[in-house]
């Protein structure tokens, strides 16, 4: 595996000064960030503030669109027509791209959020819709999605670059999907456990499921959620361990 590894965080999901300050702290340890752009969270102000901080930190920037469902933070599947979802994703992504471009930066990728991300990993038709929507909006944008899922093959078929993503702070089900947050132990809150999971992915291209089954897993980026308890401690430890093992943290 490459001796470079991309670490990413989802950002711009809070409205408070404290949330923005935490995002800036986390940026010291990552190489990419995906910014909420209005579907589940985010406003013109938070997009601009987060994008400016990310550019100052030299990060690769992605859009983080979701089902248009702020009430549930985009974490519930939504009954919505394909045309309405496509229009919403385009609107969200375009809003962030305009801000990033105005600030002198470049939008590099799109990482769907929450239920949309998980639904895409299970539903090939939905994945095709979302990937086609992004390609029609801007064919230079990469798609970041669940490593090991059918999203990779669908992106390849549609000639859209794919970034396979693994998680430091989430457990995997035996089928390679993420364990639902409602399941006990699905969210990893101990930094040492997160480090152990990431090192297994980085060094051995495998991950242990929540039930103890070893699954093959190759990823181009690793996510630590900024709203996971202890996220800053997680990232500090992960970054230090990766560097001590001779890896360089940087966008791939």
Question: Contact 149/143 with Cβ under 8 angstroms?
Answer: no
Superfamily grouping for domain 4-249: Glycoside hydrolase/deacetylase (3.20.20.370)
Model pTM score? 0.95
| Cα→Cα distances 133→88, 115, 190, Å | 10, 18, 38
Give the pLDDT of residue 2: 52
Written as tens digits, the pLDDT of the chain (252 aa) is 457 889 999 999 999 999 999 999 999 999 999 999 999 999 999 999 999 999 999 999 999 999 999 999 999 999 999 999 999 999 999 999 999 999 999 999 999 999 999 999 999 999 999 999 999 999 999 999 999 999 999 999 999 999 999 999 999 999 999 999 899 999 998 888 988 999 999 999 999 999 999 999 999 999 988 887 788 988 998 899 889 888 899 997
105-121 pLDDT, tens per residue?
999 999 999 999 999 99
**What residues does 249 pair with on adjacent strands?**
5
Residues in Cβ contact with 234 at an 8 Å cutoff, skipping those fewer than 6 apart? 168, 169, 191, 194, 195, 224, 228
């Amino acid at each position: 595996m490459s001796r470079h590894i991309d670490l990413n965080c989802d950002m711009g999901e809070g409205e408070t000064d404290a949330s923005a300050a935490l995002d800036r702290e986390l940026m010291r340890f990552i190489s990419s960030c995906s910014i909420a752009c209005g579907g589940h969270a985010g406003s013109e102000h938070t997009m601009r503030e987060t994008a400016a901080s990310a550019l100052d930190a030299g990060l690769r920037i992605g859009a983080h669109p979701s089902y248009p469902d702020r009430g549930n933070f985009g974490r519930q599947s939504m009954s919505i027509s394909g045309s309405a979802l496509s229009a919403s994703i385009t609107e969200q992504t375009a809003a962030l791209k305009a801000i990033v471009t105005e600030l002198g930066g470049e939008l590099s990728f799109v990482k769907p959020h929450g239920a949309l991300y998980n639904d895409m990993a299970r539903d090939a038709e939905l994945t095709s819709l979302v990937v086609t929507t992004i390609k029609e909006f801007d064919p230079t944008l990469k798609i970041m999605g669940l490593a090991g899922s059918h999203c990779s093959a669908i992106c390849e078929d549609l000639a859209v670059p794919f970034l396979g993503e693994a998680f430091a702070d989430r457990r995997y089900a035996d089928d390679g999907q993420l364990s639902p947050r409602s399941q006990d132990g699905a969210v990893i809150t101990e930094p040492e456990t997160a480090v152990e999971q990431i090192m297994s992915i980085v060094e051995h291209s495998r991950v242990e499921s929540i039930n103890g089954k070893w699954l093959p897993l190759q990823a181009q980026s690793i996510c630590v959620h900024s709203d996971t308890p202890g996220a800053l401690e997680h990232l500090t430890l992960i970054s230090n361990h990766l560097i001590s093992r001779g890896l360089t943290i940087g966008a791939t």
